[in-house]
Amino acid sequence: MDAVHIKAGRWKYLVVARDDFSGWPETVALTRLTAKSVSEWFNSEWICRYGAPKEVTVDGGAEFGKELQEAVKRAGSRIRITTPYYPEAQGMIERGHKQLKDALVKMCGENGSKWKEYLPIVTLADRISVKRTTGYSPFELQFGQQAVLPIDIETNTYLAIEWNKISTTEELLEARALQIAAKEETRLAAAEKLRDSRHKSVQYLDKKMAHRLRNPLEPGDLVLVYNKPLESQWGLLFKNRWNGPYRVINQINNGPYELEELDGTKLTRKFAASHIKRFYPRGKEAQLSSESENESSEEIEDEELILEGEEIEQNEYD
């Protein structure tokens, strides 16, 4: 689940919940983004409609705070909280809400403030569009058949079966059995394609991140943190993008890091490894030189080293 800020009209926020397997989306437009409003919507439009999911993944934003987390746990679901400003942790929904937002922009044209009016039809378009990761539309994986659109009824396609003409139990059971068989076959094929797609995504990400933090940071190491929000704020693009230094407390399950100020004050946020780089205070140049020699056989991209808060460029290795 994720939220998108849309600066147009009275409705300022788009919240998207998406099934991890089928890609089925539920969407809502909100004027205010609070944990209470998100919790009420998710309970009525997802849990009461489809049942409790096995797990709900959200980022650490305030809109997915205590009230929503307690509602999810009451339903018997697990809650998984990812690092804020780290879209890789929610790949499918991050890509999906960008596509939804772009489609809304195209549909609205110059009437951007009326984007809420176009949200249902754009959501339907998302549901019936075939996804690259599975090879099927979310609608087909959810209901076992393709969506019946107005044109299907008008042209009397096979999707518009007149079920009212089935009169015997045998005919009904035959039709239902064919539906179930087709649905199971579709899901198995989609699951295999989804596994293949995710394997390729992992390989791509491993290659992309090959130059980042080869060795895990240890408790006590000093680091700088990338200020990710600056990327979307034009007026702040030229400000220093690295904050710190901070001290590493620990790494959570080989994932994000917990950090603290140098005086021991713990930071509330968790930080992805790709948003952190080592800080080298004066006096550790010898250690840095030794580490560089050990890695001379590896491909090293341009990287910034930090000495007493001043940035210098490391020479590029061929």
Q: Which two tokens stand for residue 74?
A: 């009451």
DSSP assignment, residue 178?
H
Whether 12 and 117 map to the same domain: the answer is yes
Q: Which two tokens stand for residue 178?
A: 């064919």
Q: What is the CATH number of the domain that holds 21?
A: 3.30.420.10
* Residue ranges making up the domain that contains 244: 222-313
pLDDT of the residue at 38: 92
Provide the whole-model pTM: 0.53
pLDDT of the residue at 299: 41
**Would residue 142 count as lying in a domain?**
no
Whether 100 and 16 map to the same domain: the answer is yes
**Would residue 148 count as lying in a domain?**
no
Pairing of strands 55-59, 78-82: parallel
Alpha-carbon dihedral sign for residues 134, 139, 142, 146: negative
Distances (CA, A) of 240 to 178, 212, 225, 311: 62, 20, 11, 10
Whether 75 and 181 map to the same domain: the answer is no
Whether 125 and 6 map to the same domain: the answer is yes
Kind and range of the H or E element at 94?
helix 91-108
**Would residue 292 count as lying in a domain?**
yes
Q: What is the pLDDT of residues 54-75, one digit of tens each?
A: 999 988 777 888 888 898 999 9
Whether 17 and 70 map to the same domain: the answer is yes
Q: pLDDT below 70 — which residues of the chain?
A: 83-96, 150-167, 169-187, 190, 194, 197-214, 228-240, 283-318
**Would residue 14 count as lying in a domain?**
yes
Q: How many domains does the chain have?
A: 3
**Would residue 144 count as lying in a domain?**
no
pLDDT of the residue at 64: 86
**Would residue 159 count as lying in a domain?**
yes
Residue 57, strand partner residues: 80
Whether 19 and 122 map to the same domain: the answer is yes
Whether 272 and 246 map to the same domain: the answer is yes
**Would residue 54 count as lying in a domain?**
yes
Q: What is the pLDDT of residues 124-143, one digit of tens each?
A: 888 988 888 888 889 988 88
Whether 12 and 62 map to the same domain: the answer is yes
**Would residue 94 count as lying in a domain?**
yes
Whether 248 and 182 map to the same domain: the answer is no
